[in-house]
């Protein structure tokens, strides 16, 4: 049975996600090694963020 209320974790995710305010976040991940299919997350300062990109 689904709840009719929003989960607190979902609300926090929406409020802290830059996509919901119109920012484009690129280069969030990179391949672990050349030729690998595994990915690793990049630090936030290494990501490209374009503000107001609706």
Report pTM: 0.50
CA distances from 52 to 15, 25, 41, 45 (A): 16, 11, 23, 18
Residue spans per domain, the chain: 24-54
Per the model's pLDDT, the better-predicted residue between 34 and 8 turns out to be 8
pLDDT digits (tens, 9 = 90+) for 20-49: 888 888 888 888 888 888 888 888 888 888
Q: E strands within the chain?
A: 24-26, 29-31, 39-41, 48-50
Instruction: Give the confidence band of 17 by pLDDT, cuts at 50, 70, 90.
Output: confident
């Amino acid at each position: 049975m689904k709840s009719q209320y929003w989960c607190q974790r979902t609300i926090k995710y929406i409020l802290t996600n830059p996509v919901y305010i119109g920012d484009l976040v690129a280069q969030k991940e990179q391949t672990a090694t050349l030729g690998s299919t595994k990915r690793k997350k990049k630090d936030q300062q290494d990501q490209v963020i374009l503000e107001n990109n609706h």
